[in-house]
Structure 1
Amino acid sequence: MLVDKKANIEDDVMEKIKSATSYSNVFFIERIKIYWGDYSLIEAELSLFKAAFNNFSYSHYILISGVDLPLVSQDYIFNFLNNNPNKIFIGYGKKVNDDGIVKRIRYNHISPRLFGRNNLWRPIRLSFKLLDNIYIYIQRVFKVDKIKKYHLDIDYASNWVILDSYTVTLLLKYSLWIKKIFKHSLACDEVFIPTLINKLKLNRRVYSTKRIDDMPNTLQGNLDYINWWDGSPYVWKDGDEKKLKKAVALGHLFSRKFDIYNSNSKNLKKAIESMIKDN
């Protein structure tokens, strides 16, 4: 588990999290500061995969957020993954070769820490955004194009994934390549894994290549049911129990977002507890 270094969480809280489990161990890796749209997001993901891969032997590695919950039991998840070995579970975005996505990687950017979602005064953020646009314009003049230079086949997907052991091996093997390509990119935590899949021709290992259309009846290929049609994303609350059971029927193993300590989630919490016991 990785906790953002910027988060106001003391060490004793993490120790309480470790001691809260009865049958499993919780391990924390070194904390780093994570910023929206920044390479630090990729760095965090690679650090988690590396720590899990180097210390344990798993058939699959599940990357989910702190506001995710399972929708089925642990045994159900294990059986499903055992029945689908050597598979990559990734939720592809609905647009391909979208100019906004391609521009994230085609040009180098000044740090999105300066103009992204942060606490800087808005005029300062806008000034840095202007500098970034000028920097991109200069690169266009000099015909800078990392996509052509490195022969990249760009794609994008949700950053939450389930990867088989072989794919994680390759992810770590190509970590320096990933850094070279994406270090000065913008919001490429959604781009680096699907682009590497294309580079290494791993597409046949992908469980579902159907693109997410942000509709409630669509299977999201990473099996993590995220409601973008009601929010950004929507936070589940009491009354949504039937929707989540329908998500299980579609084939999902997890969902986000949850706030089970909210007063609007008391019944939902009980429903989730029942779902993860009964499957």
Structure 2
Amino acid sequence: MKLAHLILAHSQPEQLERLIMRLTHPDADIYVHLDKKTDMAGFEHLAQLPNVFFIQNRVKVYWGSYNIVQATLNGFEEILRAGRPYQFVNLLSGQDYPLTSAENIHSYLNANPDKAFMNYLRFDPDWTEALPRIHEYHFNNLQIKGRYTLQKLVNKILPKRKLPNNLTPVGRSQWFTIPLHLVEYILTYWNQNPKLQRFIKLTWAPDEFIFQTILYNSVHKAQLVNDDLRYIDWSAGGVSPKTLTIDDAQALLASGKLFARKFDQTKDSAVLDLLDKQAIAQ
């Protein structure tokens, strides 16, 4: 079972290298999209590692912007152009880390062919705080002065927006593991629906729902498993998950998940050391 990991990264080459080494497997290729705002210096040596490829069509990524979707799509396209017989594509951030060995990850996915592991909630009634993302215009992807003032004015004047194609919006976490043929479906649907493209480019944090929404409203809906296989702790509140430390070790090891996020080895490397030891012992 061949697996393509797509990592969206923007900093910390040492931690990225550590993640890559933990994902390394004879049947795994690793594709890295490095934020175009980030200098390649410091990361170039990673391209010399076996089965590691840097996405050539890089984009500048801003938090909550459409460009995160574009970076993901660019990665999907380059994975497909590689023409390799991957069974799954696994989307990760540079701050993710596996909770088990690469061998166990491959064994689990091999035992669950054609399942799409994505976290999703219906906007209405389960994730109502996300409704403004599709009902209002968002100009955060436009790097122009006064964009938020303009955004407020536009939303005051214009009527509520509606997601094209009568799509039922679902989403939550942007990170997922899906079969290659569903990546192909997403790209085909996206390319054939320019109206949807225009809509999403004026949406806040569309990376957290567009891919789930496309598949949820397709003939592939039955393949969706409402589990992204990730341990993420939102208990701290706010718009970002908790940065995990050695204090979270027990919860991580008891979670039964394949991956977790997020980590920062400059703040706590002990938790990553522990996870490495656990993987070696498996």
TM bucket (normalised to shorter chain) is 0.7 to 0.9
* Structure 1: 4+ residue segments shifted above 6 A: none
What corresponds to 1:196 in structure 2? Answer: 214
> Residue 174 of structure 1: CA displacement?
1.4
Where relative contact order (Cα < 8 A, 6+ residues apart) is larger, the structure is 1
Out of 236, 251, 269, the position equivalent to 1:265 is: 269
Range moving further from structure 2, 153-162 or 131-140: 131-140
What corresponds to 1:218 in structure 2? Answer: none
Give the structure with the higher percent strand: 2
> Residue 154 of structure 1: CA displacement?
1.2
What corresponds to 1:136 in structure 2? Answer: 155
> Is the counterpart of residue 70 in structure 1 residue 98 in structure 2?
yes
CA–CA distance in 1 between the matches of 2:187 and 2:102? 27
> Is the counterpart of residue 42 in structure 1 residue 61 in structure 2?
no
What corresponds to 1:146 in structure 2? Answer: 162
Out of 57, 67, 72, the position equivalent to 1:30 is: 57
Superposed CA offset, 1:82-103 (max 9, x none): 1111111111248535554233
Q: Does the 8 Å contact 1:36/1:113 carry over to 2?
A: no
What corresponds to 1:81 in structure 2? Answer: 109
Superposed CA offset, 1:253-277 (max 9, x none): 0001112243x333x2321111222
> Residue 130 of structure 1: CA displacement?
3.3
> Residue 183 of structure 1: CA displacement?
2.1
CA–CA distance in 2 between the matches of 1:233 and 1:110? 24
What corresponds to 1:101 in structure 2? Answer: 130
Q: Does the 8 Å contact 1:2/1:48 carry over to 2?
A: yes
What corresponds to 1:213 in structure 2? Answer: none
CA–CA distance in 2 between the matches of 1:186 and 1:12? 31
- Match of 1:109, SS state, is coil
- Match of 2:117, SS state, is coil
CA–CA distance in 2 between the matches of 1:30 and 1:114? 20
Residues 1:88 and 1:15: Cα distance change in structure 2 (over 3 Å) = same
> Residue 112 of structure 1: CA displacement?
4.0
CA–CA distance in 1 between the matches of 2:56 and 2:140? 24
CA–CA distance in 1 between the matches of 2:210 and 2:273? 37
> Residue 32 of structure 1: CA displacement?
1.1
TM-score (norm: length of structure 2): 0.78
Out of 227, 231, 234, the position equivalent to 2:242 is: 234
Residues 1:77 and 1:99: Cα distance change in structure 2 (over 3 Å) = closer
Q: Does the 8 Å contact 1:93/1:158 carry over to 2?
A: no
Superposed CA offset, 1:10-40 (max 9, x none): x342222223x4x543433332111122211
Count of residues paired in the alignment: 244
| Backbone CA RMSD of aligned residues | 2.3
What corresponds to 1:222 in structure 2? Answer: 228
- Match of 2:97, SS state, is strand
CA–CA distance in 1 between the matches of 2:123 and 2:200? 20
- Match of 1:174, SS state, is helix
Residues 1:103 and 1:201: Cα distance change in structure 2 (over 3 Å) = farther
> Residue 105 of structure 1: CA displacement?
2.2
CA–CA distance in 2 between the matches of 1:185 and 1:137? 16
> Is the counterpart of residue 4 in structure 1 residue 35 in structure 2?
yes
> Is the counterpart of residue 158 in structure 1 residue 173 in structure 2?
yes
- Match of 1:86, SS state, is coil
Superposed CA offset, 1:93-143 (max 9, x none): 48535554233223443344459xxxxxxxx6xx53232122123221xxx
Q: Does the 8 Å contact 1:37/1:113 carry over to 2?
A: no
Superposed CA offset, 1:202-225 (max 9, x none): 2210123xxxxxxxxxxxx11111
> Residue 164 of structure 1: CA displacement?
0.8
- Match of 1:13, SS state, is coil
Q: Does the 8 Å contact 1:109/1:135 carry over to 2?
A: no
CA–CA distance in 2 between the matches of 1:95 and 1:107? 14
What corresponds to 1:185 in structure 2? Answer: 203
Q: Does the 8 Å contact 2:33/2:58 carry over to 1?
A: yes
Residues 1:237 and 1:53: Cα distance change in structure 2 (over 3 Å) = same
> Residue 64 of structure 1: CA displacement?
0.6
